[in-house]
Amino acid sequence: MKSIRHSVLRTAYRAGYRLMRLYWHAFDVEKRGVKCVLTRDGEVLLVRHTYGHEKRWELPGGGVKRGEEPAAAARREAREELGVDLAEWRFLGDLFERIDGKRDRLWCYESELVDGEVERDRVEIAEARWFDRDSLPPDMHRYVRRILALTAART
């Protein structure tokens, strides 16, 4: 029964995302979001969503809610998408990117996962995998390398 529910919700996410893309293109929308660089023993976590660019690897993250601080949004998104509650987040910087027709301001944060595993939200995250920084997959979203470069600049 759970897998049927997940399948229905994934379909709803995909349909909703397609509708939102039309809206973003029509009205030149500006959105605020966060991207989370989660590291563990020198590896970085990348995800594939069940909607949007589901074939590309990207960093976990999502929208910043009205009145929410970006750091709180990073913590919330990591908890919702990956089942981890990390209190320590380092601000890496922000960048502006056009994604699916909308203008995104992305605040980028980094946190180290010391112990434990991630438990992905199977409705929103199709796959989550740890990658060595020297062996990143070629099929990443274009902004991933830009954000990972921010982590290298801080070390």
Query: Is 80 exceeded by the pLDDT of residue 15?
Result: no
Domain that holds residue 25: 2-154
Instruction: Pick 110 or 102 by higher pLDDT.
Output: 110
* pLDDT for residue 149: 92
Which CATH number covers residue 98?
A: 3.90.79.10
Alpha helices in 28-93 (DSSP H): 70-82
* pLDDT for residue 29: 58
Distances from the Cα of 150 to the Cαs of 1, 36, 59, 73, 91, in angstroms? 43, 12, 13, 19, 10
Distances from the Cα of 129 to the Cαs of 27, 70, 101, 125, in angstroms? 35, 24, 27, 11
pLDDT band at 117 (very low <50, low <70, confident <90, very high): confident
| Mean pLDDT of all residues belonging to the chain | 85
Structure-block tokens of residue 134: 């020297």
* pLDDT for residue 132: 95
Q: Which residues contact 130 (CB under 8 A, 6 or more apart)?
A: 40, 43, 44, 45
Backbone angles phi, psi at 133, to 5 degrees: -60, -25
Question: CB-based burial of residue 123 (10 Å sphere; 0-12 exposed, 13-18 middle, 19+ buried)?
Answer: middle
* pLDDT for residue 97: 76
Q: Give the chain's domain count.
A: 1
> What does the pLDDT look like over 30-50, one tens digit per residue?
778 999 999 999 899 999 988
d(CA 27, CA 23): 6
> What does the pLDDT look like over 126-139, one tens digit per residue?
999 999 999 999 99
39 in Cβ contact with 89 (< 8 Å)? no
Q: Which residues contact 110 (CB under 8 A, 6 or more apart)?
A: 36, 37, 38, 39, 89, 90, 92, 151, 154
Query: Is 60 exceeded by the pLDDT of residue 23?
Result: no
d(CA 5, CA 7): 5
> What does the pLDDT look like over 50-89, one tens digit per residue?
887 668 999 999 999 999 999 999 999 999 999 999 989 9
* pLDDT for residue 114: 86
